[in-house]
């Protein structure tokens, strides 16, 4: 089934999931949750940024999360090219873009008035990231659905963990608002993949295998991304253990039950075998991370 045929087959489900999304969406406004009173305190200390007692991993997470949201024009281009048009797909892409844009507004205002990251660093990073236009480019519509189903859940967890580690009620509220939106985005794509599995299980399993075995979070165009990613993993906001336990295992085994799908063609059977081996390898790395973390905590 080519992309056009697949999207036509899935459009009724996309329309249903879009309506569900709209029915459950919560209206919120960045200006109502940003602690604007902190701007006066920031001015009193001469607009000095980054002096707060904040672990580097949390600061890195704020920077990476915001700059990833800033790259919205290129994500929108990719999603519109893959799912767009005068259809339920196009309506979804436009709604998703509007909500993601709100995330960047809220995060930037919160980070700036709280003095957590130098705005010049954020702007230099935004210019570099958006100018590079580096985003994931899944090869098929099925691949795109599978990638974002995983990525939106990963983003939700990253936002939530960042908010928890901020130790700041205002920051927690901002990140929970974003996390709730990301969860609804994830549910849209997760359930689309469920329908894809029903319509074409062999294509679904092959696409999932391609995307899960090569998965990486968006943001590679951010200056210093690899070092920031190490800091984020080190503090426990997002690492192999979280990726395995909170994302891959729940999706692959509990929700989609990939290991139980019947009637796959030979290529899909091989893909599933490769996927299970990959998940097993990730699990072993995750367990070693947990053991090391426990050993460090015991010292």
Tell whether the model's pLDDT for residue 78 goes beyond 80: yes
What are the CA-CA distances from residue 243 to residues 60, 174, 205 (Å)? 18, 23, 19
Q: What is the pLDDT of residues 15-45, one digit of tens each?
A: 999 999 999 998 999 999 999 999 998 898 8
Over residues 81-105, mean pLDDT: 91
Quote the CA–CA distance of 297 and 108 in Å, as a whole number: 33
Quote the CA–CA distance of 110 and 68 in Å, as a whole number: 16
pTM for the whole structure: 0.93
Distance of CA 226 to the CA centre of its chain: 17
Residue ranges per domain, the chain? 3-298
Quote the CA–CA distance of 149 and 137 in Å, as a whole number: 14
Tell whether the model's pLDDT for residue 194 goes beyond 90: yes
Quote the CA–CA distance of 142 and 52 in Å, as a whole number: 44
- Looking up tokens 């075995």, which residue turns up? 213
Mean pLDDT, the chain, whole residue set: 93
207: left (phi over 0), alpha (psi -120 to 50) or beta: alpha
Name the band, by pLDDT with cuts 50, 70 and 90, for residue 297. low
Q: What is the pLDDT of residues 106-133, one digit of tens each?
A: 999 999 999 999 999 999 999 999 999 8
Tell whether the model's pLDDT for residue 102 goes beyond 70: yes
Quote the CA–CA distance of 58 and 263 in Å, as a whole number: 46
CB 38 within 8 A of CB 114: yes
The pLDDT > 90 percentage for the chain reads 79
Q: What is the pLDDT of residues 135-151, one digit of tens each?
A: 888 989 999 999 999 99
CB 193 within 8 A of CB 149: yes
Tell whether the model's pLDDT for residue 79 goes beyond 70: yes
Nearest to 63 by CA among 115, 120, 110, 125: 125
CB 124 within 8 A of CB 135: no
Quote the CA–CA distance of 208 and 126 in Å, as a whole number: 31
CB 30 within 8 A of CB 106: yes
Over residues 215-234, mean pLDDT: 90
Name the band, by pLDDT with cuts 50, 70 and 90, for residue 248. very high
Tell whether the model's pLDDT for residue 293 goes beyond 90: no
Q: What is the dotted CATH code of the domain comprising 3-298? A: 1.10.620.20
Please report the pLDDT score of residue 296 as a whole number.
64
- C-alpha dihedral (210, 214, 215, 217), degrees to nearest 10: -140
DSSP the chain: --HHHHHHHHHHHHHHHHHHHHHH-----HHHHS-TTHHHHHHHTTS--S-S---HHHHHHHHHHHHHHHTHHHHHHHHHHHH-SSSHHHHHHHHHHHHHHHHHHHHHHHHHHTT-S-HHHHHHHHHHHHHHT-----SSHHHHHHHHHHHHHHHHHHHHHHHHHT--HHHHHHHHHHHHHHHHHHHHHHHHHHHHHHH-HHHHHHHHHHHHHT---S-TTSTTHHHHHHHHHHHTSS-HHHIIIIIIHIIIIIIS-GGG--S--HHHHHHHHHHHHHHHHHHHHHHHHHHHHHHHHH-
CB 225 within 8 A of CB 64: yes
């Amino acid at each position: 089934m080519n992309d056009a045929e697949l999207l036509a087959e899935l459009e009724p489900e996309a329309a249903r999931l879009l309506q569900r999304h709209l029915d459950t969406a919560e209206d919120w406004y960045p200006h109502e949750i940003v602690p604007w009173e902190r701007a006066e305190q920031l001015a009193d200390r001469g607009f000095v940024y980054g002096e707060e007692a904040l672990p580097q991993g949390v600061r890195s997470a704020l920077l990476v999360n915001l700059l990833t949201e800033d790259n919205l024009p290129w994500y929108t281009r990719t999603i519109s090219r893959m799912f767009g048009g005068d259809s339920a797909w196009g309506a979804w892409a436009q709604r998703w873009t509007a909500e993601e844009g709100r995330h960047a507004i809220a995060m930037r205002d919160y980070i700036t008035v709280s003095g957590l990251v130098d705005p010049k660093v954020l702007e230099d990073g935004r210019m570099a990231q958006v100018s590079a236009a580096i985003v994931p480019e899944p090869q098929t519509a099925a691949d795109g659905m599978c990638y974002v189903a995983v990525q939106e859940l990963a983003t939700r967890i990253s936002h939530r963990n960042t908010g928890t580690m901020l130790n700041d009620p205002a920051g927690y509220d901002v990140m929970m608002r974003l996390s709730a939106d990301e969860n609804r985005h994830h549910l849209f794509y997760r359930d689309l993949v469920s329908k894809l599995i029903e319509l074409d299980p062999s294509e679904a399993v092959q696409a999932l295998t391609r995307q899960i075995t090569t998965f990486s979070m968006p943001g590679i165009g951010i200056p210093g991304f690899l070092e920031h990613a190490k800091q984020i993993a080190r503090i426990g906001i997002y690492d192999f253990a979280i990726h395995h336990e909170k994302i891959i295992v729940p999706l692959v085994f509990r929700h989609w039950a990939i290991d139980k799908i019947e009637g796959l063609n030979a290529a899909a059977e091989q893909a599933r075998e490769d996927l299970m081996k990959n998940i097993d390898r990730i699990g072993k790395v995750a367990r070693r991370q947990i053991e090391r973390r426990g050993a460090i905590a015991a010292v």
